[in-house]
Amino acid sequence: MVFSLTPEQAMLQESASRFLGDRYDDAARRRFRAEDAGFSLDIWQEIARLGWLGSGFSEQRGGFGGGPIETMILMEAAGNALMSEPLLGSMVLPGSVLAEAGSYDDLAHLIEGKSLFAVAWDEPEQPSALEPATVAEPCGDGLAIHGEKKLVLGGQIADVLLVTAKLDGRLAILRVQSDVGGVDVRTHRTLDGGKAANVRFDSARIDRSDVLASGNEAPAVVSEMLARAIAAACAESLGAARNLHDRTLDYLKLRVQFGRRIGEFQALQHRMADMFIALEEAQSLSMMATAALEEPNGDHRDRILSAAKIGVMGRAMHIGREAIQLHGGVGMTDELPIGDGYKRIKSLSLMFGDEDFHLDRMNSLAV
């Protein structure tokens, strides 16, 4: 349900927005994107120092005592700044896995920015995250991994990959150094202008102690990760949509055609009003998704998360389409960040289950 922020949370929100306001503009984003990693490693170290990376984890897990709301605040701010740094891929996903699997040392390294982690879970042919085709087989004292993962967010720069695979026929989560033999990381550009990686494992060797989760624990860890990813994607999309909404509103107040500010034309006013409504509703649904993370895993939570994903993405996409249209020609240019926001939202709409996936899930869980 809906909540308001504690004073600490409000402070985090303000400090994030101040930092991003200072450090992020269109030129900076362009520069960061051009770096090898597809983002700025310096900024990553700075946000580690600012405590962002630990803010979403409880103290007993090595975090700073926060939870889903803190993550939401940061993801929304990052979305609003159209930030290139992979908070989703290198903080939310691996952080959730490490926290849930109890790998607190690794989590500490992630939080301090000492190591970069990424989760390799998505596969080209397997629709379910709980049924990977990737396998880990006994090999000497340890294990050898075979398989192929796609769209590993943050994978282009990760020191450590957290890999889902079948071990003895059951799901397991494995810790793999990205530089060991048999790991082939292929970086590619992504729709939103960033980078990600496809990764092949060809007899990549790990120790038995690198099995972070198995048995009944592993599916729970993966499910929790996906739940957090959905809420984070909602928050980030909302932030990006707010950026597009605000820029469009500014443009309507600035641009003059036919001797009037175009914001005086009633047809555009009504469309802007509908964008405003969409933004308000997306905000509500994003908060609902975050609040749902506090509930026990189960059908009810899955249904709420699916509804939030469908609803936030549909509304954010509406705002994205209208932002381009109401900007006219300049909305189509790479120079303005309208397209960047649009592409980021479109990307998030396809990740962690697209509309089809979540509609199917809602239908199957209908009460």
Residue of the chain from 264, 295, 298, 300 that contacts another protein (CB under 8 A): 264
CA distance linking residue 150 with residue 209, whole number of Å: 25
CA distance linking residue 86 with residue 151, whole number of Å: 13
CB burial class (10 A; 0-12, 13-18, 19+) of residue 322?
Answer: buried
> Does 354 interact with another protein (rule: CB under 8 A)?
yes
> Does 343 interact with another protein (rule: CB under 8 A)?
yes
CB burial class (10 A; 0-12, 13-18, 19+) of residue 70?
Answer: buried
Retrieve residue 276's tokens.
């405003």
Retrieve residue 163's tokens.
């890999």
> Does 321 interact with another protein (rule: CB under 8 A)?
yes
Retrieve residue 217's tokens.
């624990």
CB of 248 to a second copy, least distance (A): 17
Retrieve residue 153's tokens.
């967010």
> Does 342 interact with another protein (rule: CB under 8 A)?
yes
Q: 30 touches which of another protein, a second copy, none (CB within 5 to 8 A by kind)?
A: none
Packed helices 68-80 and 266-292: angle between N→C axes, nearest 10 degrees: 150
CB of 303 to a second copy, least distance (A): 25
CA distance linking residue 47 with residue 118, whole number of Å: 17
> Does 200 interact with another protein (rule: CB under 8 A)?
no
Pick from 24, 36, 117: which is nearest to 78 by CA? 24
8-67 binders of another protein (CB under 8 A):
none
Region near another protein per CB under 8 A, out of 31-39, 137-145, 206-214, 278-286? 278-286
Cβ proximity to a second copy: between 269 and 333 the closer is 269
> Does 188 interact with another protein (rule: CB under 8 A)?
yes
Please report where in the chains the tokens 């809906």 appear, as a residue.
2
Q: 78 touches which of another protein, a second copy, none (CB within 5 to 8 A by kind)?
A: none
Residue of the chain from 189, 202, 215, 297 that contacts another protein (CB under 8 A): 189
The DSSP call for residue 336 is: S
Amino acid, res. 2: V
Q: Assess contact for 251 and 271: CB atoms under 8 A.
A: no
Q: 38 touches which of another protein, a second copy, none (CB within 5 to 8 A by kind)?
A: none
Q: 159 touches which of a second copy, another protein, none (CB within 5 to 8 A by kind)?
A: none
Query: Which residues contribute to the site for a second copy (CB under 8 A)?
Result: 265-267, 269-270
Q: 274 touches which of a second copy, another protein, none (CB within 5 to 8 A by kind)?
A: another protein
124-153 binders of another protein (CB under 8 A):
150-151
The DSSP call for residue 157 is: T
Residue of the chain from 269, 295, 297, 298 that contacts another protein (CB under 8 A): 269
Q: 229 touches which of a second copy, another protein, none (CB within 5 to 8 A by kind)?
A: none
> Does 307 interact with another protein (rule: CB under 8 A)?
yes
